[in-house]
A and B are shown apart, each in its own frame.
Chain A
Amino acid sequence: MGSKRDLEERARRALQLLLVQRHRKPGVKGWELRRSIGKNYLNILEYLNEKLDSYGLCIRMVYEGEETTPDQARFLVTVKDSIRMSEAISAGWRIDELAILAASIAYIASRQGSISSRELLRLLEVKFPSWFIEATLRRLIRYGYLERDGDIVKIGWRSKAEIDGGKLLELIVKMDVVSES
């Protein structure tokens, strides 16, 4: 791989690629990293990940569809620990939108990752007006948190990267509804 300086230089270039949003989607594909920083890009990302750790960030690899190799996967930088509610709100999210995302992901995950949009609407309509649900789902699909394939709604690539589905289900199962409400 060369000298330490070379490694630093490649890691710096990789970080730029990962952070600078050039398309609608954040992050970068594995093959783009390979082209820019060489075939050892996974080692360089590992080195960079260690460096980012001290700043509370980490690199994640996510498969958007049926891909199986790192070259086809998307790499992005996420915060390492969960954020606070106030931070989510100041980032432009409404509590109702976050609730819809939580409910959708939990329900879809419990159904092996895909359900019909009608079923999802039926669940959400108990709590929210349909115009609000539709607007929020459109937004979540646009951002990649959910995916729509005809009548089917799936968990999107972004949720796979950013949300710990197992923990979400666990917390929903364990939540103390009575004391909360």
Chain B
Amino acid sequence: MPARERPGEGGKARPTSKSPYTEIVTPALLAIGRGELNLEAVVGALSGAAPGADGAVVTFLGLVRNHNAGRSVRYLEYEAYEPLALKAFERIASEIRERWPSARLALHHRIGRLDVGEASVAIAARSPHRGDAYAACRYAIERVKQIAPIWKREFFEGGDVWIEGATADPDDDCARAEAERAACV
């Protein structure tokens, strides 16, 4: 599905000229693209590393809402600076490894036109205990909103507007601390 992706841990290589057989491809841990999101694939991307040691998977699915700031939303159009968005996702995964060493992250973001009710982002966090998985999952979505170079244009009844949220500065420690506070409530 994704236009750009990083291979999942333990993923098998895609077919090469040396192998005439199609191998099983583990879904990417981090991806951005135009295809519909599949939460099972996002969860599946985390199944490789230590399947017996983990006791929790927490998932988050972000959906296109039919209302925003008093407007009736018809649909959204997402665009991204894709290579930098993937690097931002990698940074978020690495921040999570630092803060919750036992937790692992998978994150897929969709771009293009999304209708009301469709999923724009799918996140899974997996760890031995639920506390870290919940925290890592919440932290990931907060950080996506802060630093991923992705934009949504809202088409509503009567017009359209680019939504402008956080100033993307990955080195802003206050923003990072804010995401951590949200994750640890």
Do chains A and B stick together as partners? no
